[in-house]
Structure 1
Amino acid sequence: MIGRKLRNRYEVLERVGDGSTATVFRAMDTRLGREVALKVLLPHVRENTRVRFFQEATAAAQLNHPNIMAIYDIDEEDGQHFLVVEYVEGDPLSDFIPSPPDVVIELGRQIAQALAYAHARHIIHRDIKPANIKVTPAGQIKIMDLGLALPREAKRVTAAGMIIGTPAYLSPEQAQGHPLDARTDIYSLGVVLYEMATGVLPFDTDDIPALLLQQVKQPPKPLREHVPDIPAALDNVILRALEKQPARRFQTMDAFASALKAAMPASAAESSSTQTRPPVESASAGPDAPAQEPLRIVLADDHKLLRKTLVSYLESNDAYLVVGEASDGDEALQQTLEL
């Protein structure tokens, strides 16, 4: 792929990363003379994943906001479908875990304002997590991945009751497969900010069913139990976003953003500008680091709902690639041999 020119326009320069459904490349738009990113759909993906790929393009095309990655085009060549999107320089939000309160508030406020803009246009993200957010060198948030974003009028591409999203950041209603509204993103952003402020997730276990149960039933510990000197106002704001009942959370992202701004410590608020700290060093973040290949997985289980839920989770994580799944091992293995 490196060196190819797709549609006689997009010159592929380097591979940026591999996901379970697409590979991302840095490219040059030779017609407009600008760098772009190409998100190329992998050929083996299921039909519902293909539908979500085009759904991402449709959802993102409705949005024009400085904190949301822009989409420029969708195209295909020789049966290979790809999105042309804004190329964003920066570091993943995970590099800002943990952060001091003023950074949590400033970055959280930007995320909330971007999602408020999307919600006003009836777009629910459904998969807010650090891996889907970048921070530019100027300290600007960019929400990167709209692969699970759902326009209000869109047809479902997952079965009713299917759990979709990333378990550690799922709202209780997502964990139960219930219908969703914009308040699901409020909860997920609360999880992200809890992790940024404390360095730990509010709910964390290697057992996915246990984690989903915690999201539904277990109240989070106050942040001050992890960080004793955290401002009480910030503690209260994040805990309110993490209420189990949607009616007890902030009802809009605008309200969440305003509450975060009001929680800014006085010393930081008096500063002429809030500067985000440099991202922590990451052993895998170097520009010359090779792209990591996803772990290829074959799933065999006769419990269809459990199997489909696990597939949905794995496919949302770029570290895994599900190459076959069926009710028995022979059938799953046969799927992999046919690839």
Structure 2
Amino acid sequence: MNPPPFTHFGRYRLLEELGRGAMGIVYLAEDESLQRQVAVKAMLLPADSADRAEHEGRFRQEAKAAGGLSHPNVITIYDLGREGDWLYIAMEVLRGTELRTLMSAGLLPPPLALDIAAQVAEGLAAAHARGVVHRDIKPSNIMVLDGRHAKIMDFGVARVQASEVRTRSGVMLGSPKYMSPEQVAGHAVDPRSDIFSLGSMLYEMVTGQPAFGGAELANLLYDILHTTATPATRLNPALPPLLDLVLARAMQKNPAARYQDAREMARDLEACRTGVVPPAPVQPLATTGGVGEATILSATVRSDAPAVSQASWLPAREFDSREAIQGLLEATEAGQPPGGAWLQALVWPLVYVAALAGAVAIALA
């Protein structure tokens, strides 16, 4: 992508490029009206009219999703505008280190990892209270300031209550490694999907291993849908045993068995960090047939919560295999191989598997 042919986006004078991705460029800029530095995320609209409307709607949705939030653990959005064929968002400058970078240096000390995860949970609780589901919680979307203050970034695939872009049922959005089962299956998501993603991310923070593995995409997706992660304390005995309960509850396949509120998860993480046991006892949950039987079970699942059957995590009836798999390949976490023969070889087998599963789902409906 070529840089814009001008020096200003509105009142923001471009100073230097901070980074870029497939969809845009981020600049350090100066707000000439308020004389402060800001970060400006800019995107060139495509020439095709259909793609143009989709991209503009999603870009505006990102600004709307984060712009309506005011929380110390969420990035602050200042402005949204357009300059020629370029859209831009002005936001606070975050001078810190991506969580992904911290994790690549080795295991985080448990108290720090738990503190960062609790802060992310608090930020998510604030977003969920405003009707915003992030849908792409992962280490590269968390900035850590001053070595400990976490901020959630990049609401590019967030879903808001009044969205300009309606995400079709059956299309997966997000990063495969941290997706919830309902995202993998192409079903509608709610705040509990973010809780699952946070649990997966925290698991990797404290163990150094993904909660759901497999070098191949097909294995990863299968594990998210069907397998239970090894208790974290088996991989890192320095962790408090209570954390196994918190992680298992956050990563339940059945959303009704997860934390129903991210703030409740934040409180339990703080209890893990300080060594205080939460007052609510952990009791077995009757097995009502979620994908993968629960091994560690929640104490606060409502008795009237809807059961999730084994068939629920078959692909949604509207599941578009080609589009979903292509989206997954494009969204693969930075640092992993972006393509190659092994990924290409997986695409069509996955298409046929997804199509077959979709047919079974329709037959069972």
- TM-score tier, shorter chain, comes to 0.7 to 0.9
2:200 to 181, 184, 191: 191
Residue-by-residue CA offset, 1:47-66 (whole Å, 9 max, x unaligned): 43332111101111211111
- Residue 64 (structure 1) aligned to one of 67, 70, 82: 70
Q: Secondary structure at the match of 1:74?
A: strand
Is residue 2:171 matched to residue 1:171? no
Correspondence for 2:20 = 18
Taking a change above 3 Å as real, the CA distance of residues 317 and 219 of structure 1, as seen in their structure-2 partners, is closer
Cα gap change, 1:155 to 1:75, in 2 (>3 Å): closer
Which contiguous aligned blocks of 4+ residues in structure 1 show a shift greater than 6 angstroms? none
Task: Please name the residue that 1:281 is paired with.
Answer: none
- Compared CA separation, residues 32 and 126, structure 1 to 2 (3 A): same
User: Compared with structure 1, are the counterparts of its residues 25 and 314 closer, same or farther at alpha carbon in structure 2 (3 Å cutoff)?
Assistant: farther
1:250 maps onto 2:259 in alignment:
yes
One-letter code aligned to 1:25: Y
TM value normalised by structure 1: 0.78
Equivalent in the alignment of 1:228: 237
Write the distance in 2 (CA, Å) between the matches of 1:190 and 1:138. Answer: 21
Match status 1:219 vs 2:228? yes
What CA distance in whole angstroms lies between the structure 1 residues aligned with 2:69 and 2:331?
Answer: 22
State whether residues 96 and 196 of structure 1, in contact with CA within 8 Å, keep that contact through their aligned partners in structure 2: no
Instruction: Give the match's secondary structure for 1:205.
Output: coil
Structure with the higher fraction of residues in strand conformation: 1
Please state how far the C-alpha of 1:251 moved relative to its aligned partner: 1.0
Alpha carbons 2:57, 2:165 under 8 Å: kept: no
Q: CA deviation at 1:30?
A: 1.4
Counterpart residue type for residue 54 of structure 1: R
1:14-56 CA-partner distances (Å, limit 9, x unpaired): 1111111111111111111111111111343834333211110
Tell me: CA distance 1:160–1:132, structure 2 relative to 1, closer, same or farther (3 Å).
Answer: same
C-alpha change, 1:6 and 1:72, in structure 2 (3 Å) is same
Offset at residue 179 of structure 1 (A)? 1.2
- For the Cα contact (< 8 Å) 1:231–1:265, is it kept in 2? no
Aligned mate of 1:149, from 143, 150, 158: 158
1:159-205 per-position Cα deviation (integer Å, ceiling 9, x unaligned) = 32011111100000111011111100000000110011111111122
Structure 1 window deviating more from structure 2 (246-255 vs 199-208): it is 199-208
Residue 109 (structure 1) aligned with residue 118 (structure 2): yes
Letter of the structure 2 residue corresponding to residue 13 of structure 1: L
> Following the alignment from structure 1 to structure 2, what is the Cα–Cα distance between the partners of residues 167 and 138?
27
The offset of 1:318, in angstroms, is 7.8
- Separation (CA, whole Å) in 1 of partners of 2:271 and 2:59: 38
Opposite residue 179 of structure 1, the aligned amino acid is: A
Q: Residue type of the partner of 2:328?
A: Y
The alignment-based identity, stated in percent, is: 37
For 1:273-284, list aligned pairs within 5 A: none
Q: CA 1:318–1:35 in 2, change beyond 3 Å: closer, same or farther?
A: farther
Deviations 1:224-272 (A, max 9, x none): 22112321011221121111111111110011011111112449xxxxx
1:308 aligns with 2:317: no
Q: CA deviation at 1:2?
A: 8.3
CA distance in 2, matches of 1:73, 1:8: 10
Structure 1 CA distance, aligned partners of 2:59 and 2:72? 22
Are 1:84 and 2:99 matched, yes or no? no
The farther-off stretch of 308-317 and 252-261 is: 308-317
Q: C-alpha separation between the residues in 2 aligned to 1:204 and 1:163?
A: 19
Distance 1:100 1:36, change over 3 A: same
* Letter of the 1:246 counterpart: P
Q: Comparing 172-181 with 36-45, which one deviates more in the overlay?
A: 36-45
1:36 is matched with: 38
The amino acid of 1:29's aligned partner reads D
Checking the alignment, whether the CA contact within 8 Å between 1:3 and 1:13 is kept in structure 2 is: no
Counterparts in 2 of 1:100 and 1:305: CA distance versus 1, 3 Å: same
Q: Taking structure 2 as the reference length, what is the TM-score of the superposition?
A: 0.73
Partner amino acid, structure 2, of 1:312? G
Question: Secondary structure of 1:240's match?
Answer: helix
With over 3 angstroms needed to count, the CA separation of the structure-2 counterparts of 1:9 and 1:154, relative to structure 1, is closer
Work out the CA distance in 2 between the residues paired with 1:312 and 1:241: 25
> Using the alignment, how far apart are the partners of 1:202 and 1:66 within structure 2?
28
| Residues 244-302 of structure 1 deviation map (CA, whole Å, 9 limit, x = unaligned) | 111111110011011111112449xxxxxxxxxxxxxxxxxxxxxxxxxxxxxxxxxxx
Is the contact made by 1:125 and 1:148 (CA closer than 8 Å) also made in structure 2?
A: yes
Q: CA deviation at 1:83?
A: 1.0
1:51–1:157 CA contact under 8 A, matched in 2: no
What is the rounded CA distance, in whole Å, between the counterparts of 1:245 and 1:18 in structure 2?
Answer: 37
